[in-house]
């Protein structure tokens, strides 16, 4: 990873800001169940380590990347009681110190959500590894980034991908035990802006290029404003393989980025696709999983690529043109192009209708349907796994093919599908 990158916008402002850390809100912080003596010893050791760290603004700003699969775990019956709060209030009457109260709190069994975060550097001289997104919702090699717990009772609700938080460490000297101090910005517009900037920065996962460099502009038939297509685009098609024979006749164009769509616009286009209800629901689930910000290159709502084979259920006339664009894996690929959102959605619906016969029907509760959709998704959409491989992926988070480790987050996908189902049913 090279240094001195041309990072601009909100990320540059965050990296170069020298503002002091706001004081964290008072809360009851609870960690894993441990003995009272162990909690006291750990607290004292970490306190001694932190004395060696300069006290000026020791906390760090961080960008939320994604949730840690499996957190928080379901609550135990004990967590539904309020005995710990009662105990703390009693201790206050006897002059207990903050350290003593926190040690008592640490012995209480509870679980908290955890997130992978990108801890922002203090400036842009040594940026290090920058996260790269794949499919719009997961990060390449996310395990290399910091795992951070939200154990502050005053922080409720989920953190968005792209949210900015301030973190601290249980042990600052070795940067261990990261936890969220407070939220800097968890608004959707801010999070979207951060993710869009990350999409345009070079990274080892996807070799992205700066999104603000000028590229080739083209006239688009919808009459929308034309934006530069950027250096990932190759309108000459010299960097791309030959398209599949069925699509060789399509017009070659520069890549076009239409305006960002709203969730309502996407749902309306799905409902106008002419597909039955069960297919429409699957269309929404895949888009919500892969393109949650609803920015569709060439109105290609599913990233359909035309350099491999033809798509079941479609004909060449369902595609309007093709472009040559670098995908999230760093490869230059031929992407399908459509003249408007409804054209792209209609074709996407046909591809899904062609898959329904080999997929499991989505029945049962929302949670059960989300689990079934995760199976379908990795069986023959995002990946092409057999039954044994699907079982391995679910249990261990990866499969190995031809010596290559393929990692996917089953529980996170199921959670995303569950949330999307709730929105679709609302």
Q: Which residues sit opposite 322 in a β-bridge?
A: 252, 336
| Residue the block writes with tokens 């894993």 | 32
> pLDDT by residue (tens digit) across 322-345?
999 887 667 788 999 999 999 999
Angle between helices 98-106 and 83-93 (to 10 degrees): 160
pTM over 0.85? The answer is no
- Nearest one of 160, 214, 40, 213 to 416, comparing CA atoms: 160
Q: Is the pLDDT of residue 287 over 60?
A: yes
User: Could you count the other beta carbons within 10 Å of the beta carbon of residue 200?
Assistant: 19
> pLDDT by residue (tens digit) across 78-113?
443 444 555 556 556 666 666 665 655 554 434 578
Query: What mean pLDDT comes out for the span 406-425?
Result: 92
> pLDDT by residue (tens digit) across 161-203?
888 999 988 877 777 788 888 888 888 878 877 777 776 443 3
Classify residue 271 as exposed, middle or buried by CB count within 10 Å of its CB (0-12, 13-18, 19+): middle
User: Residue 375 has what pLDDT?
Assistant: 96
Query: What mean pLDDT comes out for the span 276-298?
Result: 93
Lowest pLDDT segment from 180-184, 283-287, 299-303: 180-184
Query: What mean pLDDT comes out for the span 19-37?
Result: 46
User: Residue 95 has what pLDDT?
Assistant: 62
Q: Is the pLDDT of residue 58 over 70?
A: no
Whether residue 329 contacts residue 206, with contact meaning beta carbons closer than 8 Å, is answered with yes
Q: Which residues sit opposite 178 in a β-bridge?
A: 169
- Nearest one of 299, 308, 296 to 240, comparing CA atoms: 308
Q: Is the pLDDT of residue 274 over 80?
A: yes
User: Residue 220 has what pLDDT?
Assistant: 33
| pLDDT classification of 421: cutoffs 50, 70, 90 | very high
User: Residue 186 has what pLDDT?
Assistant: 86
- 183 vs 185: CA distance, rounded Å: 6
- 68 vs 143: CA distance, rounded Å: 9
Lowest pLDDT segment from 128-137, 224-233, 380-389: 224-233
User: Residue 111 has what pLDDT?
Assistant: 55
> pLDDT by residue (tens digit) across 371-397?
999 999 999 888 889 999 999 999 998
Q: Would you call the peptide bond into 373 cis, given omega within 30 degrees of 0 as the criterion? A: no
Mean of the per-residue pLDDT values of the chain: 75
User: Residue 160 has what pLDDT?
Assistant: 87
CB burial of 321-341 (b: ≥16 within 10 Å; e: otherwise) equals: bbbbbbbbeeebbbbbbbebb
């Amino acid at each position: 990873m090279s240094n001195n990158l041309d990072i601009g916008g909100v990320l540059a402002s965050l990296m170069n800001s020298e503002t002091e850390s706001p004081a964290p809100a008072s809360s009851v912080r609870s960690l894993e169940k441990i003995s009272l003596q162990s909690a006291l010893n750990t607290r004292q050791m970490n306190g001694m380590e932190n004395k060696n760290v300069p006290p000026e603004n020791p906390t760090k700003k961080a960008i939320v990347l994604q949730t840690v699969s499996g957190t928080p775990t379901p609550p135990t019956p004990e967590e539904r009681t309020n005995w710990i709060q009662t105990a703390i209030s009693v201790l206050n009457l006897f002059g207990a110190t903050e350290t003593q109260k926190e040690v008592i709190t640490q012995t209480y069994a509870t679980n908290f959500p955890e997130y992978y975060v990108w801890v922002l550097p203090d400036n842009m001289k040594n940026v290090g590894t920058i996260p790269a997104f794949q499919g719009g919702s997961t990060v390449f090699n996310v395990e290399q980034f910091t795992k951070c717990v939200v154990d502050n009772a005053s922080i409720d609700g989920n953190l968005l991908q792209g949210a900015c938080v301030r973190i601290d460490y249980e042990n600052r000297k070795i940067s261990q035990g990261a936890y969220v101090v407070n939220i800097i910005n968890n608004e959707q517009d801010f999070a979207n802006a951060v993710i869009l900037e990350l999409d345009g920065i070079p990274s080892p996962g996807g070799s992205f290029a700066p999104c603000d460099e000028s590229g080739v502009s083209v006239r688009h038939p919808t009459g929308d404003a034309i934006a530069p297509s950027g250096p990932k685009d190759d309108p000459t098609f010299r960097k791309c393989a030959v398209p599949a024979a069925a699509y060789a006749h399509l017009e070659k164009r520069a890549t076009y980025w239409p305006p960002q769509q709203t969730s309502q616009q996407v749902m309306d286009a799905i409902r106008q696709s002419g597909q039955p209800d069960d297919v429409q629901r699957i269309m929404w689930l895949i888009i919500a999983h892969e393109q949650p910000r609803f920015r569709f290159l060439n109105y290609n709502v599913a990233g359909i690529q035309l350099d491999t084979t033809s798509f079941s259920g479609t004909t060449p006339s369902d595609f309007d043109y093709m472009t040559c664009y670098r995908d999230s894996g760093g490869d230059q690929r031929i992407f399908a192009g459509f003249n408007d959102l409804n054209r792209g959605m209609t074709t996407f619906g046909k591809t899904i209708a062609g898959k329904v016969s080999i997929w499991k029907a989505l029945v049962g509760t929302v949670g059960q349907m989300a689990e079934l959709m995760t199976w379908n998704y990795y069986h023959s959409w995002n990946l092409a796994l057999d039954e044994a491989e699907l079982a391995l992926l679910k249990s261990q988070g990866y499969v190995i093919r031809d010596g290559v480790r393929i990692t996917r987050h089953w529980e996170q996908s199921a959670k995303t599908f569950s949330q999307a189902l709730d929105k679709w049913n609302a």
